[in-house]
């Protein structure tokens, strides 16, 4: 028996994938294409999403959507906002598209973002024409998904400063410069390498491994890992008022 869809509630997923080698923060999107005789009616990209099932938690919908798209489970996930403007799907192309789908015109969507490594996703098996786009170079985007992506990105920019989520975007073993590059990509700023390095290395939960990079054509860098356990023990909230 197939689970029953709730026709006016969906989940949309902004999948952020960081590519350590190109230093690019990417968003995973799927192609939306519709042709009528000669004319291309719709040809753009949207986020991946799906209806919530009647007996399903919202978090589980998001997890299911990610799994279908990437095969991955257990990635960092955050529900960050609901989009429910009555006119959010009223663009011409969106209306054409919705005609072919079992979709209520007044659908509200619960938006999640995921953090993972681009390299962990094998797009070749994907049936949806999924593609990575740098978050700052998005293609033509359908529905209100550009807005959703930008709000997810804003939340990520803010959260990465105060929570250790940066490591969700990096491989288990990373170099200090990789962390710095990632911060710079996300925030669009330059960071002083010496200050950054000192700051990170002094954290107890950033652990130097007995390993260096291999296969690089330059001085191989020291590898580190992040220990969530130590972080949870060591971290203490401060109540610094910074208004």
Partner DNA sequence: GCAAAAGTGTTGGATCTACACCCATGT
Partner DNA sequence: ACATGGGTGTAGATCCAACACTTTTGC
The stretch near a copy of itself (CB under 8 A) out of 17-25, 106-114, 118-126, 132-140 is 106-114
Other beta carbons within 10 Å of 9: 19
Q: How far is CA 164 from the centre of its chain?
A: 15
Number of helices and strands in the chain (H, E): 6, 9
Nearest distance, CB of residue 85 and a copy of itself, angstroms: 5
Phi-psi region for residue 71, left (φ > 0), alpha (ψ -120 to 50) or beta?
A: left
Minimum distance from CB of 147 to a copy of itself (Å)? 14
Binding at 187: pick from a copy of itself, DNA, none (beta carbon under 5-8 Å per type): a copy of itself
Tokens of 91: 């663009």
Question: Which residue number, 199 or 212, has a Cβ lying nearer to a copy of itself?
Answer: 199
* Nearest by Cα to 83 from 147, 158, 5: 147
Question: Looking at beta carbons only, is 150 or 161 nearer to DNA?
Answer: 161
Min separation Cβ 168 and a copy of itself, Å: 12
- Comparing CA positions, the residue from 226, 130, 232 lying closest to residue 178 is 226
- Binding stretches for DNA (CB under 7 A): 175-177, 192-195, 197-199, 212, 216-222, 238, 240, 242
For residue 178, give the nearest of 141, 142, 148, 206 by alpha carbon.
206
- The encoded tokens of residue 174 equal 């990373």
> Which 4-43 positions form the footprint of a copy of itself (CB under 8 A)?
6, 8-9
| Contacting positions for a copy of itself (CB under 8 A) | 6, 8-9, 52, 54-58, 79, 81-82, 84-86, 106, 108, 110, 161-164, 166, 183, 187, 189, 191, 199, 203, 238-243
């Amino acid at each position: 028996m197939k689970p029953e869809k709730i026709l006016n509630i969906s989940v949309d997923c902004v999948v952020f994938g960081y590519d350590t080698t190109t230093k690019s923060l990417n968003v995973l999107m799927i192609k939306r294409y519709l042709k009528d005789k000669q004319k291309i009616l719709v040809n753009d990209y949207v986020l991946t999403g799906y209806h919530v099932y009647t007996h399903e938690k919202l978090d589980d919908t998001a997890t299911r959507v990610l799994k279908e798209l990437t095969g991955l489970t257990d990635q960092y996930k955050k529900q960050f906002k609901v989009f429910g403007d009555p006119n959010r799907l009223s663009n011409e192309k969106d209306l054409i598209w919705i005609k072919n789908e079992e979709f209520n015109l007044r659908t509200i969507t619960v938006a999640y973002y995921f953090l993972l490594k681009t390299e962990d996703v094998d797009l070749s098996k994907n049936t949806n024409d999924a593609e990575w786009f740098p978050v700052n170079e998005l293609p033509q985007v359908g529905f209100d998904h550009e807005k959703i992506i930008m709000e997810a990105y804003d939340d990520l920019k803010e959260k990465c400063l105060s929570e250790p989520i940066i490591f969700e975007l990096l491989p288990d073993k990373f170099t200090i410069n990789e962390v710095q590059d990632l911060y710079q990509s996300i925030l669009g700023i330059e960071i002083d390498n010496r200050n950054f390095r000192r700051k990170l290395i002094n954290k107890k939960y950033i652990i130097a491994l007995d390993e260096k990079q291999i296969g690089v054509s330059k001085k191989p860098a020291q590898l580190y890992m992040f220990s969530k356990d130590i972080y949870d023990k060591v971290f203490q909230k401060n109540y610094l008022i910074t208004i």
